[in-house]
Structure 1
Amino acid sequence: MRTPKPGLPTREQIVHAPKVLLHDHLDGGLRPGTVVDIALATGYDGLPETDPDKLGAWFREAADSGSLERYLETFAHTCAVMQTREALTRVAAECAEDLAADGVVYAEVRYAPEQHLEGGLTLQEVVEAVNDGFREGEHRARAAGNRIRVGALLTAMRHAARSQEIAELANDYRDSGVVGFDIAGAEAGYPPTRHLDAFDYLKRENNHFTIHAGEGFGLPSIWQALQWCGADRLGHGVRIIDDITQGPDGQVTLGRLASYVRDKRVPLEMCPSSNLQTGVAASYAEHPIGLLRRLHFRVTVNTDNRLMSGTSMSAEFAHLVDAFDYTLDDMQWFTVNAMKSAFIPFDERLAMINEVIKPGYAELKAEWLFAPGGALPHLASGSVLEAG
């Protein structure tokens, strides 16, 4: 059990704080029990474990193994049980429920429709099943006293050749629960420039898209995503740290690409636990998010794959609180950054910030301030919070 330092948020406060999630994979966040249930119902016999607890542990250990083949195998199992309308709707509904129970008030959850066609569904049927699941999950969350809004991001796979088709699909459903487009998959050997037609199409349609870049390949991937493709956000983007140098005297110098990313307020969808699994950093305390936050890049905190990383938004923030002594002010800064960067209309983002996020944090701070022995070191100033 984590023992918080005086003045830092407790686990309960972290859970209750309103949070915004921009980078979460639907096929990476299933409940282990759901994987087992659907496998039994559909006759899928490839699971390494059929006990939910053991299966959950297997997913986490496989993701931590250091073997890319074993890591990718985890998604083979989750996608295998997401091939029917009923399964997709159930998984999406449970995703929304689980996020809402963890204090997430807005989420953008991504998935690749092309990976869910083996049971005979069409691309359109996949999207409609997932959208129905998200709406059902939102309804169940409200019934449980939680509030969440979930938007879908349709993902195309970098190694495949369906990005134009998926981009058009995202545009077709942009008023029906789909808020944007993404590409994912191995960066090395599959640059985003292979999908320029899809990005050009989305730009002509005034649609939003993010690109997985700067996780496994580095600065060229980030540069291409921004300058050739025109990405609105960077999925991970953590390797921007390679364009930042720190001298022996502690002085920090930004290269031209890092300066551009910071100056243009390009949102970075960072996923600390996932990055540790892929070797970006050896510990949370060494993760680049600490320096990038100090330098006021537009950093956001995300989960990536909740099942494989055994994580949640609250767990991610708890790790960062432990590593960097982040306060509720810092949590609010990250959360406002994320809400500013969401792919929904400006007035709706502003309403979420002013009517949900800021009041939620103000209530937590007030409770803490007036609790016995719970004086805060300081209250948030607007100038600090609005610097995201």
Structure 2
Amino acid sequence: MDDDFMTDGIDAVAIPKVSLHDHLDGALRPETILDLADEAGVDVPADDADALADWFVDSANSGSLTEYLETFAVTTAVLQTAESLERAAREYVLDLADDGVVYGEVRWAPEQHLQQGLTLDEAVAAVRRGLEDGMDETDEDVRVQQLLCGMRQGDRVDEIARLAVRHRARGVAGFDIAGPEDGFAPSRFAGTFDYLAKEFMPVTVHAGEAAGLDSIREALTVGRALRLGHGVRIAEDIEVSDERDALQVMLGQTAEWVKDRGIALELSVTSNLGTGAIEQWGDDVRSHPIDLLFQLGFKVTVNTDNRLQSGTTLSRELSILSDAFGYDLIDHEALQLHAAAAAFLPVDEREELADIISDGFDDLQ
């Protein structure tokens, strides 16, 4: 793992981190893809790990979420057996630990991994074994839980929700809907979200990435989302004006609700640039609304989304923010405490996680 990312004069890897929005099939090592592709007889677009890594980044950096998602055809193709899922999950934990992550939630869509005969329950169990092996193997104190995603363009969202509830005592922390956002509003799955609410299953919803405020509103009102997956386009509901040499800020009803209720935003700067999610504000890091949202008091969290496709790590994302906005250790501690408070954990475990974060920052002073 690259250790050249700095923030406030500190090696960013040393910062204790929480990862809330990171996809398993977007976090594979290129070397692992090549190994698994060779075993499975799957064609891949490059036969060298570095060239393959470059292909993913180039293909994903198109400015289109649809084209970005097409890269997952390669990663899901090599994750169709229990052994491959176990390996991917184990390496996922080891890579998080190497990057200084102390708590993570890995999201993935079990329905996409059944082509060679696995059942949904077998797939979830395989990932659980891999995560447990990784946690046992690492010398670092890292904990990782699963978030199960229903693909909103498919017909198994309700089935995946019930799968998540069924495995909640075995490392599944919550539920999400993923996939193409436009045309597949949360209201299509109202009955599923009703069921999850009755089961008190935590929900995060991909919203406010490829679609705007309507998607966010439905995630909140229909999905009862406790967090917004990306949610960056909440900034469309914020009006900033310069009057009498002073900035004036007006929040719309949706933005005010998200801010006042402390609903966490799972922001992913590099990914948002690659998919064009922030194109209305610009095409570089400084154009990203993350700093505006952070300064206004929204519960901003920093995430990678897909480390492979974005060619990034959580340490790199923190370093990018320091370079663009001058964030220091105080800012980064606040961001990590936001993430700890938003984790799908019981309150006592969230408080314990916050203590781990604060103690880690104290050690960096």
Q: Which residue of 2 aligns with 1:371?
A: none
Q: Which residue of 2 aligns with 1:337?
A: 338
Point out the more displaced range, 55-64 or 275-284: 275-284
Higher relative contact order (CA 8 A, sep 6+): 2
Q: How big is each residue's C-alpha offset from its partner over 1:129-181, in whole Å with a ceiling of 9 and x where there is no partner?
A: 00101111111212xxx121001000000111111110110001101010000
CA 1:212/1:84 → structure 2, altered by over 3 Å: closer, same or farther? same
1:157 matched residue in structure 2 = 151
List gaps (5 residues or longer) in structure 1. Answer: 366-388
The runs of at least 4 consecutive aligned structure 1 residues that moved more than 3 Å come to 1-4, 66-70
CA contact (8 A) 1:11 1:318 kept: no
What are the residue-to-residue correspondences of 1:225-236 with 2, within 5 Å?
225-236=219-230
- 1:9 corresponds to which residue? 8
Is 1:50 equivalent to 2:47 in the alignment?
A: yes
Does structure 1 residue 266 correspond to structure 2 residue 263? yes
From 242, 245, 251, give the equivalent of 1:248. Answer: 242
- Equivalent residue letter for 1:26: L
Is 1:307 aligned with 2:304? no
Where does structure 2 lack aligned partners over 5 or more consecutive residues?
Answer: none
- For 1:64 and 1:297, the matched residues in 2 are separated by 27
Is the aligned partner of 1:360 residue 2:357?
no
* Correspondence for 2:232: 238
Which residue does 1:195 correspond to in 2?
189
In the alignment, the residues of structure 2 paired with residue 313 and residue 218 of structure 1 have an alpha-carbon distance, to the nearest angstrom, of 26
Q: What is the distance in 2 between the residues matched to 1:229 and 1:30?
A: 29
CA shift for structure 1 position 70? 4.3
Change (3 A) 1:230 1:68: closer
Calculate the TM-score normalised by the size of structure 2: 0.95
Identify which range, 173-182 or 58-67, moves more after superposition.
58-67
d(CA) in 1 for partners of 2:117 and 2:5?
Answer: 51
TM-fit CA distance, 1:91: 0.3
* Aligned CA distance change for structure 1 residues 237 and 70 (closer, same or farther; 3 Å): closer
Q: 2:26 aligns with which of 23, 28, 46?
A: 28
> What residue number does 1:60 align with?
57
Amino acid at match of 2:323: D
Structure 1 or 2, whichever has the larger Rg, is 1
Q: Letter of the aligned partner of 1:38 in structure 2?
A: L
> Is residue 111 from structure 1 mapped to residue 108 from structure 2 by the alignment?
yes
Kept in 2, the 8 Å contact 1:339–1:352? The answer is: yes
The aligned amino acid for 1:87 is S
Q: Deviations over 1:220-278 (max 9, x none)?
A: 00001101221111100000000001112321111111111100111110001000111
Rounded Cα–Cα distance in structure 2 between residues aligned with 1:69 and 1:349:
35
Q: Percent identity?
A: 49
Checking the alignment, whether the CA contact within 8 Å between 1:102 and 1:312 is kept in structure 2 is: yes
User: Structure 1 residue 19 and structure 2 residue 17: aligned?
Assistant: yes
Output the CA distance in 1 between the equivalents of 2:70 and 2:167. 30
1:223 touches 1:257 (CA, 8 Å); kept in 2? Answer: yes
Q: Indicate the SS of the match to 2:80.
A: coil
Q: Identify the range of structure 1 (282-291 vs 108-117) with the bigger mean alpha-carbon deviation.
A: 282-291
Given that residues 156 and 182 in structure 1 are in contact (C-alpha distance below 8 angstroms), is that contact kept between their aligned partners in structure 2?
yes
Matched residue SS, 2:242? coil
